[in-house]
Amino acid sequence: MNYTLHQLHVFLKVTQNQSITKAAELLHLTQPAVSIQLKNFQDQFDIPLTEIIGRKLYVTDFGKEIALAAEKIINEVTTINYKMQSYKGKLSGKLKISIVSTGKYIMPYFLSDFLKKNPEVELALDVTNKSKVIESLTKNEVDFSLVSVLPDTIKVSSTALMANKLFLVTNFDIQYPEKNYDQSILETLPIIYREKGSGTRHVMERFINVNQLKVRNKLELTGNEAVKQAVIAGLGCSIMPLIGIKNELKNGNLQIIPIKGFPIQSTWNLIWQKNKQFSPVASAYLKYIEENKAQIITDKFDLELLNA
């Protein structure tokens, strides 16, 4: 056999995505180039690695075993490269982080200077909902996760980053001149919910249940951006994190309805599996966060809004 590391990499991407087209996109190659590499790799085995059924690509049982071996080989080669960099006195490796969707408004600021100071570090940042974030942490697929609600299904350690304040917001179709509305106003408004599994929805529903409010679920949308655009368009109101709507508030696209008991507050936490064995990169990043998070908040965030 005379397969190359490149062929292993191509084959692994194809099996992970069960698609030549998707693998080509991720590898920044043309589809024919991926097909040729896959064929050249397959030709070295007497047993099929993949099969096409109804125009859909499937990985055979033998192919799955080869994919696992290919992943181990690629990981070992990557480790060798990182070790070579460490002997040169450079911090190198991959930092893997999963964050909830609203975390995209804050996490880049807690990463940018660290990555600038350590250019050999690779970042794998997955932005998804809370359920998938916790799943990736449970499977030990990431070093850290960013959440606004600590999980109760897995033992974690954590460090608090900053406050996460949520307000009831709407557009300007109707004016709300009073300074402090009663919580019962929530029962009269069409409320837009985030999808199930969202940390924002969890905080929102906890407030509603604790205060025994009968709130009408007007609409349910996936992602903070979708909810924000729906509120701006006048489809309803929603309880949203301040950090994700500060520009819309400044521009006059949204307004906060002042309500007794608001803002609802949670905390952005960077979490990791309890007793996790950190890589040098993960250890260095955690130390960086502990030493610099206060300064990052001061330098990068609008304290007037955060203290609202």
Q: What is the pTM of this model?
A: 0.67
- 258 vs 230: CA distance, rounded Å: 20
The total of other beta-carbon atoms located within 10 Å of residue 150's CB is 14
Q: Which domains does the chain have, with CATH numbers?
A: 5-87 (1.10.10.10), 93-162+268-306 (3.40.190.10), 163-266 (3.40.190.290)
Ranges of H-type helices in the chain = 5-17, 20-27, 31-42, 61-87, 112-117, 130-138, 199-210, 224-232, 246-251, 280-300, 303-306
φ and ψ of 19, to 5 deg: -160, 125
Q: What is the pLDDT of residue 294?
A: 92
Tokens matching residue 268: 């952005």
Per-residue pLDDT of the chain (308 residues), as tens digits, is 788 889 998 999 999 888 999 899 888 889 999 999 999 999 999 999 999 888 889 999 999 999 999 888 887 777 776 666 555 566 778 899 999 888 999 999 999 999 999 888 889 999 888 888 998 899 888 999 999 888 888 899 999 999 899 999 999 988 898 888 999 999 999 999 988 878 888 888 999 999 999 988 778 998 889 999 999 999 999 999 998 898 899 899 999 999 999 999 889 999 999 988 888 889 899 999 999 999 999 888 865 555 55
Secondary structure (3-state) at 153: coil
| Burial track 151-188 (b if 16+ CB lie within 10 A, e otherwise) | beeeebebeebbbbbbbbbbbeeeeeeeeebebebbee
- Cα dihedral sign, 240-242-247-250: positive
